[in-house]
Amino acid sequence: MKKLLITLNVNGRDVEFACAPNQTLLDALRLDLRLTGSKRGCDDSSCGACTVEIDGEPMLACTLLAAACEGQRILTVEGIAEHGALAAIQKAYGEWGGAQCGFCTPGFMIAVHSLLEQNPDPSEEEIRAALSGNLCRCTGYNQMYQAVKAAIEAEKAGRRAL
Amino acid sequence: MNEFSVIGKPVALVDSAGKTTGQGKYTDDLSMPGMLIGKILHSPLPHARIVGIDASRALALDGVVAVAVGADAPNKYGILPVGHDETALAVDKVRYVGDNVACVVAESEAIAEKALELVDVRYEPLPAWFDPEDSMRAETDLLHEQRPHNIEKEYHHAFGDPAAGFAQADTVIEGRYIANEVTHAAMEPHSTLAAFEIDPQTGRPGRLTVWSSTQVPYYLQHKLSIVLEMPMSQIRVIKPLVGGGFGGKSEVIPLEIIAAVAAREARAPVKITYTREEVFWAHRGRPRTIVDLKTGVTRDGKITAVAAKVIQDGGAYCSYGVVTILYAGALLGGALYQIPNFQYDGYRVLTNKPACGAMRGHGTVNVRFAFEAQLDEAAQRIGMDPVEIRRRNLLVPPCVTVNGLRVGSYGLPECIARVAERSGWSERKGKLPRGRGLGIACSHYVSGAANSIIRSDMPHSTVNIKIDRDGGVVVYTGASDIGQGSDTMVAQIAAETLGCSLGRVRVVAADTDLTPIDIGSYSSRVTFMNGNATLRAAQAVKRQIAEAAAKRMNSTPEDVIMRGDRVWNHGAYGDEGPGAVEETATIAASGRVEGQILRGSVQQKRAEECPKDRMTFEEAVVAAIDFHGALGGSGSYAPPVEARGGHYKGSGVGPSPAYSYSAQVAEVSVDEETGVVTVHKIWAAHDCGRALNPVAVEGQVIGSVWMGLGQALEEELVWKDGLLMNPGLLEYRSPSAAESPEIECIIVESVDPEGPFGAKEASEGSLAAAIPAIANAIHDAVGIRLREAPFTPERVLAALRAQRPEAKKVRLAGNVDPARPATFREHGGSLCHGGRGPARHPLDPAVRRKSAAGSASKREDDAR
Amino acid sequence: MSLPEFQLRRPKTLAEAVSLLAQTDGIVQVIAGGTDLIPSMRQRLFAPSELVDLRGVTELRGIRQSAEGLEIGALTPLAEIDRNEIIRRDYPVLAEAAHAVASPVLRNMGTIGGNICLDTRCLWYNQSLAWRKSCGYCIKKDGDLCHVAPGGTECWAVFAGDTPPALLVLDAEIEIAGCDATRRVRLADFYTNQGDTRMKLGSREILTRVFLPRSTRGWRGAYRKLRVRGSIDYPLAGVAVALRMRNGVVENAKAAITALNPAPLLVSGIEEQLAGKTLTAVLAETVGALAANTARPLTTSALTPEYRREMVRVMAKRALVEVASCGSR
């Protein structure tokens, strides 16, 4: 199978590499670009551990073909941190127990990041709905809600300080 | 001022940043030069003799490097010394659909998958056994020749005088309870990377390094040694981050052995990562369990006797089975309530399905469901409040139960009081509108097994600590953090004991070359045992520092106080200590707020003030290193002899140095037209001795309760003639955020006299109570007693309709009433029909059932 | 699990897509959101030699009002339909059904066209190649057995899309483009009600647009979905109802069911039962019974057929009562 030479824009950088037409975006990220933050948890597009942002919308990297993502902006968990420091949501997930084993966490980081980009002050229901496409087996989700709320408060405080 | 600086403070897990940034590495994230990919060929038949394997077509495929088969590594192994019945790959026969037949090693996953299709295996089908009650009657075609009637193990225990106990009872309640099979479904599929190094002396492959998603690196090292016939010293097992275990990684899983065998055959590093379907085949989850339970109570609510017959459908291999069936008995009689007379008949049965093993709440969950549901029924029968009947049967510790369990700290009474108060039990119970209800249940669990799997006098945990000249503390622990936070627990105990801030402590964990032996993360043993070992190691180092510091301050080691990164002579601590400690304690706990390392500024500030009767931590460390040379210490833990249980056969399982306790109230509503159960809230009070890290304890308790909720309402492995119908996360439904309720965790601290800083387990004990709490709440809401879990809407509706003779019945497969379950049920449809279909043996149930059912009908959905 | 090998085509326009399809030899498959197709390809349920990815055909994306009603491009993501103000106001049953699909992340990917063309599902079919081998395969793929209707010669896999029943009650039409011509059909005539063939769409054709007529604009409606989890799941049964009322009297009404038969089906006899009447509990029961009688569930999913049929009865009844009682327009 002939490989295609493609360019992906990942976390703000253009990366050119050879990619088989049947390569998923998840495999391209993990194997070719060595961005192993996005995880493979299922094989049936149900778990959300591979969630990345494509042009600002959360999508499943395991369900996209890498070659079909040319020309789009891809944000992975590795691109969430701000200036080498933890983003508010990353810090809050640590402090509030939002991450236990951490395997689902990259997917949740993207899901929450997208939520807060689109809606900086979501209601409890909106938070719950935004998280409902990602499975977690450790936390029962309860502490994640606290983390998201803490991150929102931290962002608000940060904005006030500016 | 607080009693502690680090202990009891909510701190972020020390590895949390790696998890939220994606930088943390799990096994499948690792790769190395020349690494190949292994893929396993699985059996399509539930029971068959392997007549021949021809891999020549596969080997001829471009990019295929090797094909490993059973004969390449025929030594038997198993997690239990009494259960060595597995081989890396099937040697003579396969025992379940999904059993491991061959492993293809190739340059890529795609090539390996293609090659799997080219491995030709000839099978001779054998009759298979799927229903444990059938399997127990087997005379021929046994799964393992050495196990007559396919019974892996049976136990018959009687404590006190059960017959007399039942005679004293005013009322005796009997019932059959069935809990269907559930699995861990940890988010990370298992993965193993195995690589041999060339031995410089012999020029041949020598030492083996294995990176694996395991809860038990040392057992893996041990089993690899058995199968590969290599000394343990030549094998290094490293546990990277593990994406959840829940018991599913608490024994040696086939791919871990297969990867090493494949690496040996391929002469290259090999990584195998399971597909999600393979995770379901590897399984080792909670077995389907039949509990025939009988409870006798007096009119005033005292339990006089309990008798249980328990059958566990263990699947094709022993796994942890012997331990599971013993836990079911030991913790049913248990250290929860006062049960003076107790009879137990337990059967662990082999069937042609993936092996069951240990899963969170190991052995206790399904029997606890039966017991707590029956106790609720008993309370109703004698007209007593369900909270009150539980209060009437409390233990009076310290004590030893009839089955030999030693009970010390016992926070159950407070747990019950707290959940009753928080849930508004006395004001609301029985007063909610029809369709809405409250239910209570309790549970408990071991803080580690007092006897290890492999009996020896070896400590269960050993920890080493070294301190560098600038005050950096490194803790070497074998404890395997699988997300529960053990690395953080170890760091906190070391920091608290040494009086330094958490940011100084680095934890090196779970690497058999570097870290002393800890037997693994299972049976909730790590905080109690590895925590105690860490405490002792830290105390050993602290003694050395205190001696050196005492010399400097013209004091005695006993008068040296170490806290908050400072060291005082006793008197000086008196005048300035508390205030200073408050300040530094903030720094110590500030991992949560400001990042964990503020060392530079703190050091400078301290250097400016330097009186004789106080020192900085670094100064004291330097003094100790100057005095002793290297500064290090070691500590280990073995459970006390008095906690190791009785002297009857099987008495080794159940005893623990301490037990955790949980009481829960669930509030549910039931839609009587659809059978849908909505859980609105669960209040869970958990006695964890002392909460070393409250945020982590809450996370563990909530996670346990939530997992119990999944088993109560949604999760179930669905079978048809040995085929798992739902081997994926789409059809095996662990709850999503959308329907997961609020769970309020109430921490109860009984401060155990032997636990590190009083701590006991927090990660498993709360799971079991969730299921009966929900069952009892459903009864409170709509008056049905569900005796089969999970309480899916169709089961609930079937039970509701069964209550009302005039209503149209909801026919479940097998026509069983979930309020009176009789047998195991299977999925509808038909596997083999009209002599067509897969090549099963004529006596296989799939074929037999068909001929019994007669000619094919258009709609034979529930043929059983 | 890797994907089978294929050539990837990425047309930018519909014309290009259609001509690509016409030129291509071998097994060709069109992909839109991929949320169902990609996992199915992993399981080797589809192994096309050519994959035509429509994600770049932007002309097929978007929602437009037109003289005849509303036009929805087939590539419009379900999330966009869920939050579109016009659809929420004028065709609320569709917004509700779109909202019920899977999970937020999957709704960002999945398209309305993909949901209409969704492959039928069965526990004996949606499994890996190795799994299907162990059951002797099935009539829908690689074999000749039907495990849910033993001895049967038809496939009973169920259509499990959420939006088609809503589109059916709104009397939607769809536009299909082929290399020679473009045709327009009523959605109700699109499905075959057979699990294997499932729909009347040639392998060289593309579903391009969905039309909602003015006649059902403003109809009140509701979609009810039987699922175990509150998110992610495909429906185990689903029912859409829509009606127009005046002064408390039903003028028109329709109901359609999904996830119970090999096709989403309009429930016949609803209009006759309801038109000109005030809704009563007895009438709602009757409608529920009609919906249940239309359902032919088999053991294609984990919940039993009996329960699923019972639930479509309850859901149809409840949806109707709710729609009729929430203020008249």
**Same domain flag for B768 and B669:** yes
Phi/psi-derived region of residue B417, left when phi > 0, alpha when psi is between -120 and 50, beta in every other case:
alpha
Last residue of a domain, one of A43, A60, A79: A79
Last residue of a domain, one of A50, A79, A108: A79
The tokens for B325 are 């069936």
**Same domain flag for A75 and A58:** yes
**Same domain flag for B537 and B553:** yes
Residue B184: CA atoms inside 13 Å, Cβ hemisphere, count?
30
**Same domain flag for B356 and B494:** no
For residue A41, pLDDT beyond 60 = yes
Strands C173-177 and C182-186, by their bridges, are: antiparallel
B567 within domain boundaries = yes
Of the candidates A49, A94, A144, which has its C-beta nearest B12's C-beta? A94
- The pLDDT score that the predictor gives to residue B857 is 40
Last residue of a domain, one of B772, B793, B814: B793
The size of chain A, in residues, is 162
pLDDT band at B3 (very low <50, low <70, confident <90, very high): confident
Contact status of B694 with chain A (Cβ, < 8 Å): no
Q: Do A43 and B276 touch (CB under 8 A)?
A: yes
Which domain range does residue B82 map to? 31-126+188-243+249-282
| E strands in B230-331 | 235-238, 270-273, 288-297, 303-313
| Min distance B826 CA to chain C CA atoms (Å) | 10
Q: Which of A91-100, B248-257, B597-606 has the lowest mean pLDDT?
A: B597-606
Closest CA to B339 of B407, B280, B272: B407
For residue B341, pLDDT beyond 80 = yes
pLDDT band at C150 (very low <50, low <70, confident <90, very high): confident
Q: Do B829 and C150 touch (CB under 8 A)?
A: yes
Residues from A contacting C (CB-CB < 8 Å) are 1, 4, 20-24, 43-46, 48, 51, 57-60, 62-65, 67-68, 111, 129-130, 132-135
C232: chain A residues, CB-CB within 8 Å: 46, 132-133, 135
For residue B158, pLDDT beyond 90 = yes
CA C44 to CA B590: how far, in whole Å?
A: 53
Q: How many domains does chain B have?
A: 4
**Same domain flag for A66 and A93:** no
Q: Do B810 and C298 touch (CB under 8 A)?
A: no
| pLDDT tens by residue, A47-82 | 999 999 999 999 999 999 999 999 999 999 999 998
For residue B589, pLDDT beyond 50 = no
Q: How many domains does chain A have?
A: 2
- The pLDDT score that the predictor gives to residue B611 is 57
Q: How far is CA B733 from CA A138, B790, C32, in A?
A: 15, 11, 27
| pLDDT tens by residue, B648-702 | 999 999 999 999 999 999 999 999 999 999 999 999 999 999 999 999 999 999 9
**Same domain flag for A60 and A28:** yes
CA B525 to CA B515: how far, in whole Å?
A: 17
Which domain range does residue A69 map to? 4-79
Sole residue written with tokens 């006798």: B296
The tokens for B406 are 């030693």
- The pLDDT score that the predictor gives to residue B574 is 62
Contact status of A23 with chain B (Cβ, < 8 Å): no
| pLDDT tens by residue, C204-230 | 999 999 999 999 999 999 999 999 999
- Whether complex ipTM tops 0.90: yes
pLDDT band at B576 (very low <50, low <70, confident <90, very high): low
**Same domain flag for A60 and A38:** yes
Residues with Cβ within 8 Å of B178's Cβ and at least 6 positions away in sequence, in order, are: B288, B289, B290, B291, B787, B788, B789, B821, B824
Contact status of C123 with chain A (Cβ, < 8 Å): no
SS3 per residue for B804-839: CCCCCCCCCHHHCECCECCCCCCCCCCCCCCCCCCC
C292: chain B residues, CB-CB within 8 Å: none
| pLDDT tens by residue, C23-66 | 988 899 999 999 999 999 999 999 999 999 999 999 999 999 99
Least CA distance to C229: which residue of chain A? A132
Percent of chain A topping pLDDT 90: 94
CATH number of C1-52: 3.30.43.10
**Same domain flag for A70 and A18:** yes
Question: Where are the domain boundaries for CATH 3.30.43.10 in chain C?
Answer: 1-52
Least CA distance to A130: which residue of chain C? C104
Closest CA to B159 of B303, B336, B366, B305: B305
| Min distance C241 CA to chain A CA atoms (Å) | 25
Last residue of a domain, one of B733, B766, B793: B793
**Same domain flag for B369 and B262:** no
| pLDDT tens by residue, B100-110 | 999 999 999 99
Contact status of B632 with chain A (Cβ, < 8 Å): no
Q: Answer for the pair B688, B681: CB distance below 8 angstroms, yes or no.
A: no
Q: Do C152 and B858 touch (CB under 8 A)?
A: yes
Q: Please report how the helices B531-552 and B617-628 are oriented relative to each other, as an axis angle in degrees rounded to 10.
A: 90
Cα angle C254-C259-C264, degrees, rounded to a multiple of 5: 45
Residue C28: CA atoms inside 13 Å, Cβ hemisphere, count?
21
Percent of chain C topping pLDDT 90: 94
B24: chain A residues, CB-CB within 8 Å: 102
**Same domain flag for A129 and A95:** yes
pLDDT band at B850 (very low <50, low <70, confident <90, very high): low
**Same domain flag for A68 and A102:** no
Last residue of a domain, one of A79, A113, A142: A79
Sole residue written with tokens 């608290």: B496
Strands C173-177 and C206-213, by their bridges, are: antiparallel
CA A105 to CA B438: how far, in whole Å?
A: 34
**Same domain flag for B122 and B155:** no
Q: Answer for the pair C195, C122: CB distance below 8 angstroms, yes or no.
A: yes
Fold of C60-117+158-325: Enolase-like; domain 1 (3.30.390)
- The pLDDT score that the predictor gives to residue B594 is 35
| Min distance C49 CA to chain A CA atoms (Å) | 11
Q: How far is CA B382 from CA B174, B293, B296, in A?
A: 15, 18, 11
pLDDT band at B74 (very low <50, low <70, confident <90, very high): very high
Interface test mutation site (partner A, options C29, C103, C128, max chain A beta carbons within 10 A): C103
pLDDT band at B816 (very low <50, low <70, confident <90, very high): confident
**Same domain flag for B90 and B227:** yes
Dihedral sign computed on CA atoms, order B552, B557, B559, B560: positive
Stated as kind and residue range, the H or E segment containing C305 is helix C305-325
User: Reading across the β-sheet that carries C7-9, which strands appear in turn?
Assistant: C7-9, C50-53, C28-31
Higher-confidence position of B252 and B572: B252
B571 within domain boundaries = yes
**Same domain flag for A96 and A144:** yes
- The pLDDT score that the predictor gives to residue B597 is 41
For residue C243, pLDDT beyond 70 = yes
- The pLDDT score that the predictor gives to residue B575 is 55
What CATH number has the domain bearing residue B608?
3.30.365.10
**Same domain flag for B633 and B696:** no
What CATH number has the domain bearing residue A138?
1.10.150.120
Mean pLDDT of chain B: 93
| pLDDT tens by residue, B109-147 | 999 999 999 999 999 999 999 999 999 999 999 999 999
**Same domain flag for A72 and A8:** yes
Phi and psi (nearest 5°) for B710?
Answer: -60, -45
CA B343 to CA B322: how far, in whole Å?
A: 18
Last residue of a domain, one of B637, B652, B685: B637
Q: Do B22 and A93 touch (CB under 8 A)?
A: no
| pLDDT tens by residue, A100-155 | 999 999 999 999 999 999 999 999 999 999 999 999 999 999 999 999 999 999 99
**Same domain flag for B357 and B397:** yes
Strands C63-66 and C206-213, by their bridges, are: unpaired
Q: Which of A155-159, B72-76, C226-230 has the lowest mean pLDDT?
A: A155-159
Contact status of B828 with chain A (Cβ, < 8 Å): no
C2: chain B residues, CB-CB within 8 Å: 108-110, 113
Q: Do C304 and B861 touch (CB under 8 A)?
A: yes
The DSSP string of C190-249 is: TB-S-TTT-B---TT-EEEEEEEEGGGTT-EEEEEEE-SSSSSPPPSEEEEEEEEEETTE
CA B326 to CA B654: how far, in whole Å?
A: 7
Question: Where are the domain boundaries for CATH 3.30.390.50 in chain C?
Answer: 60-117+158-325
For residue C155, pLDDT beyond 80 = yes
Neighbouring chains to C with at least 3 Cβ pairs closer than 8 Å: A, B
- The pLDDT score that the predictor gives to residue B593 is 32
For residue A160, pLDDT beyond 80 = yes
Q: What share of chain A is helix, strand, coil (3-state, %, to 5)?
A: 40, 20, 40
Map residue B229 onto helix, strand or coil. Answer: coil
Q: Do C299 and B858 touch (CB under 8 A)?
A: no
| pLDDT tens by residue, B822-845 | 888 889 888 987 778 899 999 999
- The pLDDT score that the predictor gives to residue B587 is 44
- The pLDDT score that the predictor gives to residue B824 is 82
B727: chain C residues, CB-CB within 8 Å: 127, 131
| pLDDT tens by residue, B472-527 | 999 999 999 999 999 999 999 999 999 999 999 999 999 999 999 999 999 999 99
For residue B78, pLDDT beyond 60 = yes
SS3 per residue for A5-57: EEEEEECCEEEEEEECCCCEHHHHHHHHCCCCCCCCCCCCCCCCCCEEEECCE
pLDDT band at B599 (very low <50, low <70, confident <90, very high): very low
